[in-house]
Amino acid sequence: MKFDRRIIYLFVVIAIALPIIFPLNLKVKTTKEVLGVYDPIEKLPEGSKVLLVYDYEPSSGPELDPMASAVLSHCFEKKLKVVGMCMWINTGAAIAEKNMTQVAKMYNKVNGTDYVNLGYKSGGYAVVLGMGDNIRETYPMDYHRRKLDELPVMKGINQLRDFDYIVVIHDDSSVFSWINYGYERYPDRVRIGTGCTAVMATGNYPPLQAKQITGIIGGLKGASEYEKLIDYKRKHGKSGPATAGMDSQSVIHMFIILLIVLGNIMYFTVDKKKRNND
């Protein structure tokens, strides 16, 4: 049986677009994995230092940008000092700059005083090892070519262990560099939470189970949970981008389940000989 797959594409577009135009406002239930990132940040006292790692490409932006914005909003609400950086994907530097500037504007935060973007540094795990020894040697300057010693936000931050919490948002396996060369080096001081694309989520559960990371924000669903935890809708007067996307996500999942059921029915109802010929 022949079926033009472009018809399915059309239905997918309709299934995604309709909930965007007519929001369903479906409820989002929080999970302990996302609370594992939210709670450590929530418990930090004012002025604590958080390292936010933007190790992802623009192609993962629809999933990870809302996540990064939610975590950063939470940090700014708690009046924490945030240091952004990337070390695995070079496009992360520009993503970090855009994301931090946008969120900082909403909370009237000053670049260099309340937050800073260190930019990209090549070297992969060597960057983590270098930051473990001396951040200023690894990153002499920030994204805007300012010396770190001149930035108030960097006061008291000399090594990786000076950060009170690290959130690694990634679309590859960079969190394992942070675990192996950060957490394992300073297990009593370094605490890591991760946010990742849905594709990567299952691979992040073993370190969670081994208590090497405190929690996982997995994909758009995880981001929507985080938006709920920080009460995004009440504070901004509208649903966050991840929560809004979850309506479409739910509809499209129902559509995919329907397609799987229909596909199986068609498969078993077609004559076996004809099926083999096809």
Least separation in angstroms between residue 202's CB and another protein is 5
Long-range contacts of 106-110 (CB under 8 A, 24+ apart): 106/73, 106/76, 107/73, 107/76, 107/77, 109/76
Separation CA 39–CA 33 (nearest Å)? 10
- The correct pick among 209, 269, 276, 277 for binding another protein (CB under 8 A) is 209
Separation CA 269–CA 197 (nearest Å)? 38
Binding mask 88-127 for another protein (x = CB under 8 A): --xx-x-------------------------xxxx--xx-
Task: Tell me if 69 contacts another protein by CB under 8 A.
Answer: no
- The correct pick among 254, 256, 258, 270 for binding another protein (CB under 8 A) is 256
Residues whose CB falls within 8 Å of the CB of residue 99, separated by 6 or more in sequence, listed in order: 54, 65, 68, 69, 72, 84
Least separation in angstroms between residue 35's CB and another protein is 17
Separation CA 150–CA 140 (nearest Å)? 11
DSSP state of 80: -
Separation CA 36–CA 68 (nearest Å)? 16
Tokens linked to 56: 């992802």
What is the Rg, in whole angstroms, of the alpha carbon atoms belonging to the chain? 21
Nearest residue (CB) to another protein, 235 versus 253: 253
Binding mask 156-195 for another protein (x = CB under 8 A): --------------------x--xxx-xxx----------
Least separation in angstroms between residue 200's CB and another protein is 8
Using CB under 8 A, list all residues that contact another protein: 6, 9, 12-13, 16-17, 20-21, 59-63, 90-91, 93, 119-122, 125-126, 129, 140-141, 176, 179-181, 183-185, 197-199, 201-202, 206-207, 209-212, 218-221, 238, 241, 244-245, 248-249, 252-253, 256
